[in-house]
Amino acid sequence: MINNQRLQSIALKNEHSLSKLVENQTTYTFNQCELHVFETHQAAENVGLLFNDFVYTAMLRGKKVMHLKDRNAFDYLPGESVIVRPNELMEIDFPEANKEQPTQCLALGISSNIIQNTLDLLNEHHEKLLPEEKWQIDQDIHHIINNEQLNSTVNRIINLSKNEKETNKDIFIELALKEMLVRLMQTQARHLFDGGYKKLSNSHPFAYVIDIIKSKLHEKIDFDQLAKAACMSRANFYKKFKEQFGITPSKYVVKERLKIAKGLLTNSQMPISSICFTSGFENLSHFTTTFLKETGNTPSRYRKMNATAIN
């Protein structure tokens, strides 16, 4: 399925300016990070890459197959990100890279200093819902589907890096890095709760709320009742939910309904009007407008682009 949440494009190097065809590297260096852009213009296997710092990577074009220690190999595609521990060897295959369709990826090496400063700031001034919870980057959630909030901060870092005339560049880069780290942790939290809400629903109020939401997506959802289920005021519920996941509860509901709609558009021949109501939207106009805003395509266009063959 096509993932529309992709980072902005970065122009490829002219063929004559490439120093090598496999993992040709361009680097932008700052006080708290280094941004590397890698291009590969021919198929290759078992290419090793290692950084001393924590690394956030994101695919821009093409396909890689990633091999990380103690993890199964996986395809790595545009619209996705991978985080890598300091001094962890990446072994990479480029099965489809060629001059006409090169692979391009960015790697953002981030200093431990700014990571720790960001975590300390959050844990001191923006405590999580439960006393035992702490802000942290979960190294086990390493393969991430991008979202608009995370992409916006990474795009800002890319733009700042490429703009050589920007004054006080390191200050702006540091601010963008801190926001990116927060967005990364919020993205990981959504991944964790989406996959484990049933298991966590007896011990975490937000997991319990997500369980309720997912069971009622086809109905009108009462957010006052959700706040009550979490034993919180509506205002505090919205505030803490957005801190934890990076989006409001109402936005979360919309995204969950769109997931249902995307699945039905891709894997069924159900009429679009029926998909609208099955997904929990109240009318076809609102469904179409919301779908277009979130995906960049109308439901019918999305179906044409993604639908699998139905027997």
What's the pLDDT tens digit per position in 44-81? 999 999 999 999 999 999 999 999 999 999 999 999 99
The CA radius of gyration of the chain, in Å to the nearest whole number, is: 21
**8 A C-beta contact, residue 214 and residue 197:** yes
Task: Judge if 172 and 206 occupy the same domain.
Answer: no
Is the pLDDT confidence value at 300 over 50? yes
What's the pLDDT tens digit per position in 152-209? 999 999 999 988 677 889 999 999 999 999 999 999 999 999 999 999 999 999 999 9
Token representation of residue 83: 């985080």
Strands (E), 50-199: 54-61, 64-67, 74-76, 80-84, 90-94, 103-110, 143-145
Task: Tell me the one-letter amino acid at 245.
Answer: F
Task: Judge if 212 and 184 occupy the same domain.
Answer: no
CA separation for the pair 3, 77 (Å, rounded): 9
- What is the mean pLDDT of the segment spanning 119-132? 94
Task: Judge if 179 and 207 occupy the same domain.
Answer: no
User: Does the residue 70 lie in any domain?
Assistant: yes
Looking at the structure of the chain, the number of domains it has is 2
CA separation for the pair 143, 57 (Å, rounded): 10
Give the CATH number of the domain where residue 49 resides: 2.60.120.10
User: Does the residue 8 lie in any domain?
Assistant: no
Q: What size, in residues, is the chain?
A: 311
Strands (E), the chain: 24-29, 33-40, 44-49, 54-61, 64-67, 74-76, 80-84, 90-94, 103-110, 143-145
Task: Tell me the one-letter amino acid at 194.
Answer: D
What proportion of the chain, given as a percentage, has pLDDT over 90? Answer: 91
Token representation of residue 279: 């997904």
Token representation of residue 81: 């990100």
**Phi, then psi, of 134 in degrees rounded to 5:** -130, 150
Q: Which of 167, 190, 213 is the last residue of a domain?
A: 190
Task: Judge if 179 and 205 occupy the same domain.
Answer: no
pLDDT band at 1 (very low <50, low <70, confident <90, very high): very low
Angle between helices 169-200 and 112-125 (to 10 degrees): 60
Least Cα distance to 287 among 264, 258, 260 occurs for: 258
Task: Judge if 36 and 114 occupy the same domain.
Answer: yes
Task: Judge if 177 and 42 occupy the same domain.
Answer: yes
Range of the domain at 88: 15-190
User: Does the residue 242 lie in any domain?
Assistant: yes
User: Does the residue 282 lie in any domain?
Assistant: yes
What proportion of the chain, given as a percentage, has pLDDT over 70? Answer: 97
- What is the mean pLDDT of the segment spanning 223-233? 97
Token representation of residue 229: 């289920």
Task: Note the pTM of the prediction, 2 decimals.
Answer: 0.91
Segment 256-264 long-range contacts (CB within 8 Å, at least 24 positions apart): 256/213, 256/214, 256/217, 257/217, 257/281, 258/290, 258/291, 258/294, 258/295, 260/217, 261/287, 261/291, 261/299, 262/1, 262/295, 262/302, 262/306
**8 A C-beta contact, residue 265 and residue 306:** yes
Task: Judge if 184 and 231 occupy the same domain.
Answer: no
Token representation of residue 63: 């396909």
With 0-12 / 13-18 / 19 or more C-beta atoms within 10 angstroms meaning exposed / middle / buried, residue 71 is exposed
DSSP 8-state secondary structure symbol assigned to residue 307? P
Task: Judge if 267 and 248 occupy the same domain.
Answer: yes
User: Does the residue 74 lie in any domain?
Assistant: yes
Is the pLDDT confidence value at 228 over 50? yes
With 0-12 / 13-18 / 19 or more C-beta atoms within 10 angstroms meaning exposed / middle / buried, residue 291 is buried
